[in-house]
Structure 1
C-alpha cells in the first residue's frame, strides 16, 4: 500500500465522505474517508476499523513539525490491525500499569473506530489515552471501544506523539515555525485527530456535531488544555475529564514560577546528545532519543507558547476564557496509592508530622491539619496529595463551567474490591477505567499486574458507569438504568459517589477545595510553582 498526493482525488473523496455509508464485503465492512476507502472487520456485530492514518508520518524532516493531513492512498486501506505505538520507553515490569511491549514507530499517528452495526448520526467519543504524555497506546486492551459501540456510540481512540517526540521545544524549531513557537506537537496531534473526526466521522455514521473529547490522567490533562486552546475551538462539544491536574507549565522563552524556559530545556537536551542544531537532532535514531529522554529526566508536558497554549490553564479559567461546553469530571479517592513517589516524605510520629506541615504551610498549617490530621500521618498525606494534584483541579474545572451556566458534573470513584484491598490499592489512579469502559469482570485488562475487578458487584457498577458516560456524551445529562439521579454540581456542590453503587452526595471533600484554592493562589501570587508532579 502506498500513499500519494492527489488533489483531484482528495476533492472528490471529501465530497463523498458526508454521503458515504458502510458497504459490507463479507466480513470486511468498507467506507470512504477523505483520503480513500478503508476496509475493517466485523466483530460481535460491530464494525471496527484500526490503524487509520490521520496525519502524515512525523519522521525524517517531519520530526518535530506540526501534523499535516495524510495524502490519498491507492486502493483500499487495510484497517484490520492497530498501527504501531508511538516511541516510548517500557513501563517498569513491576508497575501496576505495565503492559507487554507492542511494535513501536515514529510513524504512529493513527486512530481506530468502533461503530454500531446500524446507526445514524450517532454520538461520537474521541478517547485520548493517559501515560504521563510519555507512555501509552490506543491499542491497549483497556481502551477497547466495543462496549460503547454496543450502546450506540461511535468510539474513536487515537495515538499521539509522546516524550521528546511530542513535547520538545528548541530555539531552532521555533525559528522554523511561522508562529515562532515549538513544543506541543502531541497536543497538535490531538487537534489534528479531532479535525479528522470532523471531516470523516459521518462516513462511520457518527455525528460531527455531537463529539465528546474524553481522557484520563495525561489524556485528561490533554482534554483540559484543549478546553483552553483556541486551536481546538469547535472540534468537540462536551468533555469528560478523569483525574486531571492543573500543575505549573513552563513558558517557551521566559523563566516563570521557578521553571526554566522550555527552549532552554530543549537546548540542554540537544547538547546532551552532542547535537549542534535541529538538523543533527533529526538525524539521531529514535531509540537513542527515547534513552536520552530517560537519562536527562525530560518532562513531557505542554508549553505555554501564547498560541496553542495561551497561558497557564488556571489563569485561563480565572479569566473564563476556556471553551464553554458541558463537562463531566472527577477524581479517585485513592489516586496516589499507586503513585507513592508523588507523596512527600511522611514523618511517622504526630509531632514530626505537625512540624513538617508548619514548615511547609506556615499560617495555613492549622487549616491543613484540620483537614489532614496528625493522628494518621500516612493516610493524611495520601489524601492531601490526592487533593493537591487531582481533586482541586477537577473541581476547579467543574466549578468554572457551572459558574458559566453550563451542565457540569463531578464524581468521586470510591469503589474497592478484594484484590485491590489486599494490595492497599483501593480506588487507585486509573482504577475507574475498567468501569468507565464497561469491561470490569468481562475481559482481560491488558496489564498482568492490575488488581482484577471480577465480581458481580463490579460488573453491575461497570454497566452503570458506562451508561452514565454514554448518556452524558449523547445528551449532556448523565443517567443510568437503575442508577441514582446525578444532579449537576451547582451551588450545592453535588457529586456522584461511585462506591458499591452510585450514590448522589454533596461536597466531595469538605473544606479541601477552599483550602487548596487559597494555598495555590498564594503560591501563584508569590511567583512560585503551586505544585510539581
Structure 2
C-alpha cells in the first residue's frame, strides 16, 4: 500500500525547481542539493506547550497548502553548553517547546531506499537533529534516506511526578522524550515512502544518549515493529530508576519529581506548567535533575539488563561498539586521582575483595591516569557494546562489534585519542562539519579512506543487515569467535576484544544487581562501594 502511495504522492520537480513531496502528512517543498533532496523542520507531533506539557505526543495534523521545508525547526529546550566543550555548537541553538520535528535527506532518485534514523546524543539534556555533524547529505549519496529527529530533553522530556501519573490513562509518567522518538518512528512508517524510503527497512542509530535511546527503543513494546535494525555507538546500559519504588541505589522517579519541585519551590502541576520552559530547564539542571528513562511497566517494562537477559527485546540485527578514548573528553566522570600507585591498589583491594586481583591485572597502577580512564570506559561503554552483540546473537540475529581506536594529530596532541563521539564524522560523512573546538580532522587520503569504509559499512548494514565496504575487509559477525572490527587508521578484523574485560565487568554488575541497592555505572574503580559477596548465579 505504501509503495503505491509513494508513486501517487511524490511530485517530480523539473530540473532546477525545488523538490515537492505530497506525503500523507501534507505537501512539502524542500531544497535540491547535489543529487539529494532535503526536507527540514517537518513536524511529526503537535507542539507540547502548556496544557500538553508532560503528556505523550499528539500526532501532527495534516496541514493545508505547501509547507516550506527548507529550514530546520528549533531545538528542544536545553541548558547552555559547558564552556570549553569540544561538543559545543558554533552558535547558540534557537529553542522552543514547539520542537518536535524531523529532517529528511533522500537521494533524488530514491525508490524503496533503506531508511537510516539518527537519534542525537547529549545525555538526554542537549543536542538537536539539525547539528551540522548529523546532516544527511553524505549518507543519502550512499543510497539511504536519512532522518534526524528532535525529542524533548531534560525536565521537559523525562520528568515523572505523582500528579502526572494520576493524569495518565496508564497511570505512569516520565519517558516523554522516548515517546517522542516512537511517535517520530510512526510518522516515518506512514510517510517515508513518499520520499522514496522503504518503511519496511528502517534502521535506528545513535551515539551516547542516542545509543541509550536505541536500547530503550529495543526494549520498549510500543516501538516494536517500527524498525528493523539497530546501530548503537557508545551506548551505556546503566541502571534506570523505577517509577514508584527505590531500586538499585536510585529513588523512585516520582520521588525525584517531587523533590525537584520542592527545590524549585513550585507546588502543583499548574505552576510547573505555567513556568517559562527555558527557565524551568536551566533551573532543574542547576538543581541536579538528571534525565533518564523510567521503568514504568508500560513503555519500559524492566531494567534494560533484565529485558535483554530474558530475550524480550526487539529481535533485530545490531551493530554496536565503543571508542578507545571515550573518557578522555569526559573527564568530569573521573574521581580525583589517588596519591600514588600504592594508594590506588589499596583502594581497589578494599572495594573489590576477591575480584581485586582481576581488577589490578586489567587496570594496573603503573599508569594511574590510563587505568582510571580504562576502568570507567569499560564499565560504561565497553561492557555495554559487547553485551548488546552477545544478546542479539543469542536471539539468532546477525550482530557486529566494533572498536574505534583511531587517532590523528590534532586529537592526539590534545590528549584526546579516539575520544567520545570521535567516530561520528567518519561514519556519517561529516568530517568537514564538526563543532568549532573539535580537533580538526586532516584532509588526507588516509582519513578519506577510513571515512569511506565506515560509511560503506554503516549504510550497507542499513540496507541488508550485513556491513560491507568497498576495498575494505569483510566484517565478521560476533558469533562464537567473538569477532569484531577495529578502526585504527584502516579497518582491521580481529577476535576476542580485550580478553577478560567483559567477564570482569559482568561479574561486578551481577553482584550489584543481586544486592539490589547499588547502581552499576560510573561508581567504579577507586570510587566503587564495597563489592557485595558473590551471589547465586553470579561469576
- Asked if Structure 1 and Structure 2 have the same fold, meaning a TM-score greater than 0.5 normalized by the shorter chain, the answer is yes
How many residues align? The count is 519
Match of 2:228 among 208, 229, 237: 237
Partner of 2:489: 500
> Following the alignment from structure 2 to structure 1, what is the Cα–Cα distance between the partners of residues 370 and 83?
27
How much does 1:532 deviate?
4.1
- The verdict on how the C-alpha distance between 1:186 and 1:14 changes in structure 2, with shifts beyond 3 A counting, is farther
Partner of 1:367: 358
Q: Which moved more, 1:213-222 or 1:88-97?
A: 88-97
Contact 1:36 1:74 in 2 (8 A): yes
Partner of 2:67: 77
How much does 1:333 deviate?
0.6
> Following the alignment from structure 1 to structure 2, what is the Cα–Cα distance between the partners of residues 403 and 35?
39
Contact 2:47 2:100 in 1 (8 A): yes
Q: Which moved more, 1:184-193 or 1:351-360?
A: 351-360
Q: Secondary structure at the match of 1:74?
A: coil
How much does 1:459 deviate?
1.4
> Following the alignment from structure 2 to structure 1, what is the Cα–Cα distance between the partners of residues 322 and 107?
30
How much does 1:33 deviate?
2.1
> Following the alignment from structure 2 to structure 1, what is the Cα–Cα distance between the partners of residues 159 and 6?
35
> Following the alignment from structure 1 to structure 2, what is the Cα–Cα distance between the partners of residues 311 and 423?
41
How much does 1:18 deviate?
6.6
Superposed CA RMSD? 1.5
> Following the alignment from structure 1 to structure 2, what is the Cα–Cα distance between the partners of residues 281 and 166?
14
Partner of 1:474: 463
How much does 1:530 deviate?
1.5
Partner of 2:532: none
Structure 1: runs of 5+ lacking an equivalent: 1-12
Cα displacement string for residues 479-516 of structure 1 (whole angstroms, at most 9, x for unaligned residues): 10111110000011100000010000011111100001
Partner of 2:406: 415
Contact 2:24 2:191 in 1 (8 A): yes
> Following the alignment from structure 2 to structure 1, what is the Cα–Cα distance between the partners of residues 411 and 11?
43
How much does 1:90 deviate?
1.1
> Following the alignment from structure 1 to structure 2, what is the Cα–Cα distance between the partners of residues 348 and 204?
59
> Following the alignment from structure 1 to structure 2, what is the Cα–Cα distance between the partners of residues 308 and 17?
31
> Following the alignment from structure 1 to structure 2, what is the Cα–Cα distance between the partners of residues 227 and 270?
32
Q: Which moved more, 1:339-348 or 1:282-291?
A: 339-348
Partner of 2:107: 116
Partner of 2:21: 31
Counterparts of 1:28-107 in structure 2 under 5 Å?
28-99=18-89, 100-107=91-98
Partner of 2:419: 428
Match of 2:252 among 251, 258, 261: 261
> Following the alignment from structure 1 to structure 2, what is the Cα–Cα distance between the partners of residues 20 and 361?
62
Q: Secondary structure at the match of 1:200?
A: helix
How much does 1:263 deviate?
0.5
Q: Secondary structure at the match of 2:10?
A: coil
Cα displacement string for residues 289-330 of structure 1 (whole angstroms, at most 9, x for unaligned residues): 012112211111101101101110001111111111000000
Contact 2:406 2:418 in 1 (8 A): yes
How much does 1:444 deviate?
2.9
Structure 2: runs of 5+ lacking an equivalent: 524-539
Provide the TM-score with structure 2 as the length reference: 0.94
- The verdict on how the C-alpha distance between 1:175 and 1:525 changes in structure 2, with shifts beyond 3 A counting, is same
Match of 1:452 among 415, 418, 440: 440
